[in-house]
Structure 1
Amino acid sequence: MKLKNRVAYYFVSRLFSLMLIWSLLIIISIVLISFFLENNQKETSQLSINEIAEHTVLINQIPSVDPETKEDLVKNNMWVQILDEQGSEVFSFNTPESVPNHYTPGELVSDYLYPAKNDFQLSTWSNTVDNQNLTWVLGKPLTSNNPFQYWVNNLWILFIIMAGLVIAIFFGRQLGAPLLYIVSWIESLSKGKYEEPFYHRKYNIKQRWRNKAKYNTYKELNQALSRLTSTLKRNTEERELLDKTREEWMTGVSHDLRTPLSVIKGYTVLLSSDEHVWEQTEVRHFSKIMEERVEYMEQLIEDFNLTFQLKNDTIPIQLEQKDLVNVIKNVLEQLEKMPEAKNKVFSFETNKEQIFLDMDVKYVQRALENLIANSIKHNPPDTTIKIILHEALSHPRQICVLIEDDGAGMDQETIEHLFDRYYRGTSAISNNSGTGLGMTIARQIIIAHGGEIALNSKLHLGTQFKITFPIYRYAEKRRDEET
Structure 2
Amino acid sequence: MKTVSRMIFRYLLAAFGIAFLVLTVNGALLIGVVLHYGAKGQQEGFFPVGKFAESFTRTDDGFAPAPDMEWQKHFAWAMLLGDDGEILWSENLPEELNHAYTVPEVAAFSRWYLKDYPVMAYRNDFGLLVAGKEQGSMTRFDFYMDNDILYALLSGVGPLLIVDLCLVVAICLILGWRGAKPLREAAAGIGQLAEGKEVCLPQSGAAAELAEKLNQTSRYLQKQNELIRRRDTTRANWIAGVSHDIRTPLALIMGYGEQLAQQAPPQSEQQKKAAAICTQSQKIKALIEDLNLTFKLQYNAQPLRRTAAAMGAWLRQSVADFCDSLGENYSVGLQIREPAGQTVLEADRELLTRALDNLLNNSVRHNPGGCDIQVAAELADGRFVLTVRDNGAGYPEAVLRNHSGTDDPNAPHILGLHLVQQIATAHEGEASFCNDGGAVATLKFAVHWYGHAETGQVDSEPDGLILFPD
TM superposition score normalised by structure 2: 0.45
Bigger Rg, which one: 2
